[in-house]
Amino acid sequence: MLVDNGVRGDSRVQKTARSAAAAGWEVILLGRSPSGLSETWRLGDAEVRLLPVPATLAKHRHEYRRRWLRAPLAYPPGGLAAHRQQWVRAWRADLGLRAAGSGSTTRLRAEEFAAGLLERWVDFRAAQRKRAPRTLHGPWDRAYTAFWQRLMGDRAWRRLAPGLWDWELAFGPVVDRLAPDLIHANDFRMLGVGARAKIRARARQREIKLVWDAHEFLPGVRPVAHNARWLPAHAAHEREYAPCADAVLTVSDSLAELLRDTHGLPELPTVVLNAPEAYPEPAASDDAPGPDVRALCGVPPEVPLLVYSGAAAEQRGLGTMVEALPLLDGAHAVFVVNRPTGPYVQGLVARAAELGVANRVHVLPYVAHWQVVPFLAAADVGVIPIHHWPNHEIALITKFFEYSHARLPMVVSDVRTMAATVRSTGQGEVFRAEDVDDYARAVRLVLADPGRYRAAYQRPGLLSSWTWEAQAEILDELYARLLPAAAGDTAAPADTAAVGHHVEMGSRPSA
C-alpha cells in the first residue's frame, strides 16, 4: 500500500493495512518518514516502511537564486547569512572577554566599533533575504500555467509541479524491488506512483493490478495559498493516471459519482466508508485503556463539554466554537487536533483569552485510532462546524462515524450530506455554517435534551453498518475480484507484495 504521510495519524490507512493482512494478504505499507530517516514497524500482521522523501524538486527554482532586482544586497540562498551572523556574534563575544581581562584600550574600542558596524551590515543583508518572498499567484504565474497547459495538456504537471517527481524517485525503486501483484494507492500523489510502477511492470511482462483509493475530490479542495499552479497541476496529474486504475475506491456515494463523471470511469467506484472498528485491536504496547477526554480536561461530569476531533484549519470552523462560548453559559470546548501547538490553534486560544473564556478552552493531541471512540465518549456533544467547500458537502467524514460510535449527540453545520443524515436519523442538530448565533442555538437544543438524540443510536442496524468490519469485507471482495487466483490459494507462500496507501500487497496470503 502507498500513502503520502507518516501512517500514524491516518486511521483509514492503518485500518486498511491491518484488516487486509488479517484477511490473509501480505501487506507492505509504504509511507513518508517524518524524520527523514528510514523506519520499519509492524501494524498487526502488516509491515510498515517509512521512506525519506527529499523535497528537492518541490522547491521552486527561484528559491535557489538571489533576487537581484528586489533585494540585490541580500545574502544568496543557503547558510551563508546564518554563518556570517554567528561569526560576528563570536567576534563580539571575544571582544567582551578581552575587555574584561585587560580593560578597554584604544584598539579594543576601535574593534568594538568595527564589529558593531559589521553586525548591523550583516543583519541588514540577512533581513533582505526575508523580504516578501516571491509567490506563485500573480499574472505571470497564471500566464505561465496557461501556457504549459495549452502546450502539454495533462502532462503539464511536469512543469507546474515537478515536486511530484520527488515521490516517484523515493517510492518507485522500492515498489519495483517488491514486485507486487496489487498496488493500493491512496489519493492523488500515490496514484501516479502506482500507475508508473504498473507501466514499468507491464514493459517487463508482469501484470500489476492498481487500486486507487480517492479520499477526496481534488478539484474541490481549497486551493493552496499563493500558488496558482498547484491545483491545475495536481488535477492534471490525477487525470493522466486515473485511467490506469483497475478499480477505484472512495468514501461516499456522491464522491463516487463525481469521480466517475470527471474521469470517465467505466464503472462506479466502490464505496468504503471511513468508519471506526466495532472491536478495535489495540497495539501490544497500548493495550491499557487511557484516560477519557473529560478527565484530561479536568472538567467535572455536570459541566457541558463540547468536543471537536480532527485536523485543525480555518475551513474546519473551529473559530465558530470559540466565538460562541460567551453565549453558552459554563460550557467548555475541547479540540483534539493534529497540531496542538500550531499557529492556527494557538490563535484560537488567544481569541478565547480576548473573549474571557480561556479557562473553558482545552487543546489535546490525537490518540491512537483504536482509542478514539472510548476517548470521546465522555463528552456531551460532538461538533462538526466545517465551512462550505465542495469536499465538505459530499461525504460523511471520519469524525462523524467516531462521534456516532461514541453515542454523542451531534451539532453539525449545514453541509449537504452530513446535514441530511443528521436530520434523517435524529442524532443531532444542524446550524448554518459560520453563524455563531445559530450554532449556539443548536448546542442549547442538544444540551437541553441529550437523551432524545442519543436514542437515535438504538435504531437497529444503524451503527452496525457504520463499522470498519463491514467495510473491510467490501475491500477484501474487491482484492479477490482483481486477483481471483490469489484469493483462492490460501496455502501457497506469498512471494510478492502489493502496494497501496504506501502499502504493498501481494497474492494471498499476501496483500
Q: What is the pLDDT of residues 262-296, one digit of tens each?
A: 999 999 999 999 899 887 766 544 555 677 999 99
Residue 509: CB atoms within 10 A of its CB come to: 18
Residue 130, pLDDT above cutoff 80:
no
Domain spans, the chain: 11-54+157-271, 61-129, 286-464
- Spatial CA neighbour of 28 closest among 12, 41, 11: 41
CA distance 284 to 244: 39
State the DSSP code for 483: S
Instruction: Tell me whether the CATH fold assigned to 11-54+157-271 matches the one assigned to 286-464.
Output: yes
- Residues 436, 320: contact at Cβ < 8 Å? yes
Cα-based distances in Å from 316 to 56, 108, 310, 337, 384: 31, 59, 9, 11, 8
The pTM of this model reads: 0.79
Residue 496, pLDDT above cutoff 60:
no
CA distance 384 to 418: 9
pLDDT tier at 506 (50, 70, 90 boundaries)?
very low
More confident residue, 376 or 79: 376
- Spatial CA neighbour of 433 closest among 511, 352, 316: 316
User: Minimum mean pLDDT among 137-141, 351-355, 360-364, 458-462: which range?
Assistant: 137-141
CA distance 10 to 341: 19
Name the percent of the chain lying above pLDDT 70: 89
Sheet containing 361-365, strands listed edge to edge, beginning at the edge strand earlier in sequence: 361-365, 332-337, 305-310, 381-384, 410-413, 428-431
Whether the ω angle into residue 77 lies within 30 degrees of 0, i.e. cis, is no
Q: What is the pLDDT of residues 209-265, one digit of tens each?
A: 999 999 999 988 877 777 889 999 999 999 999 999 999 999 999 999 999 999 999
For the domain spanning 11-54+157-271, the CATH number is 3.40.50.2000
Task: Give the number of C-alpha atoms closer than 13 A to the C-alpha of residue 119, restricted to the C-beta side.
Answer: 14
CA distance 339 to 177: 35
CA distance 260 to 348: 39
Residue 440, pLDDT above cutoff 90:
yes
Give residue 243's pLDDT: 97
Give residue 289's pLDDT: 60
Instruction: Tell me the average pLDDT of the chain.
Output: 89
- Reported CATH class of domain 286-464: alpha beta
